[in-house]
């Protein structure tokens, strides 16, 4: 059983954990990253991940600073240059990159692409040690260090622990940090669709009494639809065949969505968590 020292241990290598770990390593800290499984290899022939992030120019600047933006562009990303939102036609708001003298407002990037680019950079950085696959069973504070115990009995000593292990964080629990949380009365359905025409570079959102409907343009003829509604309604939609879901989209999305064919979907409960 080895007792390994490190300056910072980051538990969880999702988008947030990986970005924090890479930034610290670039500032000269010795960082250990603990993750249960690496992200999948990128396959350019694969359909888009249902999880899409609309990242702003500030986020692009951060990813450039971390040295991963070119890798992301080398996989898949789609610029969006116009943002529209409305409830009634009389309350229509639009932002256009050209009016702001910007090349774009941001980019649509699949979460798995972001994770893969960050992971590759972590694997190549000399100040980063990857523990993967790995899982922890215990965290114990001794004087000014934290002692982390792995499932195989290995110990890791670190001055700082960063818990980036998700909503149900074990690190938060072991640290004795409580949460105040509740579920919103809405869930979200993300739908990957093929468009009959070029999806363009405009993203839009319409508010309805049941919840927003949004359109996120992606690469080639792909797009992502976001459907918010009551949890029971989202469960109903998720249980439908793609053909049935397509008919529901035609009935409940604005006409401007055009002719789209759903290919895959995933549902998520909306929950608010506040660490105390």
Residue 206 predicted with pLDDT over 50: yes
The pLDDT value recorded for residue 3 is 58
Residue 117 predicted with pLDDT over 60: yes
pTM attached to this predicted model: 0.93
Q: Could you give the residue ranges of the DSSP H alpha helices within 169-230?
A: 170-174
Q: Which helix (H) or strand (E) holds 41?
A: none
What DSSP state is assigned to residue 34? E
What does the pLDDT look like over 80-92, one tens digit per residue?
999 999 987 678 9
Nearest of 82, 55, 108, 100 to residue 204 by alpha carbon? 82
Complete DSSP assignment for 239-268: TS-HHHHHHHHHHHS-GGG-SEEEEEEEEE
Percent of the chain with pLDDT over 90: 91
**Lowest mean per-residue pLDDT among 33-42, 180-189, 234-243:** 180-189
- Over residues 186-191, the mean pLDDT reads 97
What does the pLDDT look like over 121-170, one tens digit per residue?
999 999 999 999 999 999 999 999 999 999 999 999 999 999 999 989 99
Nearest of 266, 218, 247 to residue 54 by alpha carbon? 218
- 23 and 66 in contact (C-beta within 8 Å)? yes
Q: How far apart are CA 190 and CA 265, in angstroms?
A: 5
* The token pair that represents 123 in the structure block: 């694997």
Q: What is the mean pLDDT of the chain?
A: 95
Cis peptide before 48 (omega within 30 of 0): no
Name the band, by pLDDT with cuts 50, 70 and 90, for residue 1: very low
Give the side-chain half-sphere CA count within 13 A for 264: 9
What does the pLDDT look like over 59-86, one tens digit per residue?
999 999 999 999 999 999 999 999 999 9
What does the pLDDT look like over 4-53, one tens digit per residue?
679 999 999 999 999 999 999 999 999 999 999 999 999 999 999 999 99
Q: Which helix (H) or strand (E) holds 123?
A: helix 111-124
The pLDDT value recorded for residue 91 is 85
């Amino acid at each position: 059983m080895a007792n390994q020292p490190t300056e910072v241990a980051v538990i969880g290598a999702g988008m947030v954990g990986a970005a924090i770990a890479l930034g610290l390593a670039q500032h000269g800290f010795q960082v250990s990253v603990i993750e249960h499984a690496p992200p999948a290899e990128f396959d350019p022939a694969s359909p888009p991940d249902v999880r899409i992030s609309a990242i702003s120019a500030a986020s692009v600047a951060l990813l450039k600073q971390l040295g991963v933006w070119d890798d992301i562009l080398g996989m898949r990303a789609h610029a969006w240059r116009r943002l529209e939102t409305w409830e009634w036609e009389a309350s229509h708001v639009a932002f256009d990159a050209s009016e702001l003298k910007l090349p774009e407002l941001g980019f649509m990037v699949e979460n798995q692409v972001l994770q893969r680019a960050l992971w590759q950079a972590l694997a190549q950085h000399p100040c980063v040690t990857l523990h993967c696959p790995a899982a922890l069973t215990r965290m114990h504070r001794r004087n000014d260090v934290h002692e982390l115990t792995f499932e195989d009995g290995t110990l890791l000593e670190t001055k700082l622990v960063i818990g980036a292990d998700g909503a149900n964080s074990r690190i938060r629990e072991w640290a004795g940090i409580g949460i105040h949380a509740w579920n919103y009365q809405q869930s979200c359905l993300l739908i990957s669709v093929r468009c009959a025409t070029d999806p363009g570079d405009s993203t839009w959102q319409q508010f309805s009494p049941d919840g927003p409907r949004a359109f996120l343009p992606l690469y080639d003829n792909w797009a992502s639809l976001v459907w918010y509604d009551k949890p029971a309604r989202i469960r109903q939609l998720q249980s439908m065949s793609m053909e049935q879901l397509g008919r529901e989209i035609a009935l409940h999305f604005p006409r401007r969505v055009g002719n789209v064919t759903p290919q895959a979907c995933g549902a998520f409960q909306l929950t608010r968590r506040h660490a105390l």
